[in-house]
A and B are shown apart, each in its own frame.
Chain A
Amino acid sequence: MTGPLLRLSGVQTHIGRYHILHGVDLEVPEGRTTVLLGRNGAGKTTTLRTIMGLWRASAGALQFGGRDITRMETPDIARLGIAYVPETMGVFTQLTVRENFLLATAGGRFDQRRLQGVFGLFPILEQKFDQTAGGLSGGQKQMLAVARAMLEPCRLMIVDEPTKGLAPSIITTLIEAFRLLADAGTTILLVEQNFHLARSVGDGVAAMDDGRVVHAGRMADLAADEALQARLLGLSLAAHQ
């Protein structure tokens, strides 16, 4: 393998007149799960949105699979094989669960094996398959958002804080889902403040603060280094309590 699947170099992003990202350097190696940590407002979501082309980088470069995606439009970026689960979940509440799923399939047809796999993980979605997604609970919507990203093979899955405000039982299910994906060799970039989840699924870790990546390394090293945890997560945990 030559170089990471996704590489951000010196990425700066402005939202309106606010300068949010001040030069983000980030590498996501293929076949691994990389967790992005950082306190509220550090710029994690903005980084993911910039990767997806939902915000434009004003400086720096983004490469995916060796291609420059800095100026590409969102649909073209997605078509390179990136599945995105936004912080706001992006569930179409007026459509049924089935219709939400159909939008994520190639050509509007289900791969039955993958669909059954998703139902195996999230049986509730099979039960509610023909109901409108607006009637799902918050946790069920999050399952839908993650499940939708699993329906087609993708080269990279980007997930923004899937556990925000969810009950522990649902978090356990999500951990299982990310483990299965990882075992299947999926490359994942996951924003996660819940260190328990982050540690149990992450191979690599990057921590952001104030629009920059301030630490990058192996999750195992971070898990073993309490001083570093305190420095990086102290911020993040403190912000959460």
Chain B
Amino acid sequence: MADTLPTLLLAEHDDASLNPVTARALTAALALGAPVHVLVAGENAQAAAQAAARLDGVAEVLLADGPAYAHRLAEPVAALGVALAPAYGALVAPSTAFGKSVMPRIAALIDVMQVSDVIAVIAPDTFDRPIYAGNALQRVRATDATKVLTIRTASFAAAGEGNAAPIRAVADAAPAGGASFLGEEIAASARPDLSAARIIVSGGRALGSAENFHAIVEPLADALGAAVGASRAAVDAGYAPNDWQVGQTGKVVAPDLYVALGISGAIQHLAGMKDSKVIVAINKDEDAPIFQVADYGLVGDLFEIVPALQAEIAKAKA
């Protein structure tokens, strides 16, 4: 019977460590009610597999370790997912760039219509998901026997740690070529990861330059121990790197505190942050739409307010 089959969760990791969004997606996977196996695919990914085995609720970790899975290209990882799929009732991944690239490939090859960006599990076959940049929510029932889901991780709390699930090696699937890795530019940062941060400070077009972004937004973030985000306008203008973009087409975040500096609050930006617990907006236009979602607003020039705010935070922490 399909509903007794376990759930397979595709881990987000970089071989050396497990990305915290995996523990959040695990909470969604466990809500389906079946035992959860975590698939760690990579090269020299033993450490990530061990981290996955520590997550509470994981029944087993499957480790596919080898050169075929270096850099986790979509084609070989999807081939692996397809090979494993018959033993599972549901295949789940966090809605990361990796999960979004791999899961629809698997879904198509097993002839399943995927449910993207699940924000709530209502029943093992029924899910809520946002549409129109989160301006409407859809409740859908997936009629395919196997479910393929990507999870909006900001909507789920992280599973705890303290488990010691067994790790089992899985054999390579048939090779799936056509793509090769040429290189990557991944910015190393000491700041918390945007998708898991408790506090986020974001800057918009108002910053005016990369130098200002660096001199105004980043120090405030560091004073708060926050991750840094940006609007699309700030990224397009080159003030901030692409993976800092928050919004409908960037990262969707829900930190305890989101501070928007010189961001107007376009629907596409709000789609990425309006589920934050507390929102602060600093904007010189008192009618900026961002104030309609902000718990606390300061109307004025961010170039004056931010240094003052930093001084107050320093005082408060002293």
Physical interaction between A and B: no
A: residues with CB less than 8 A from B are none
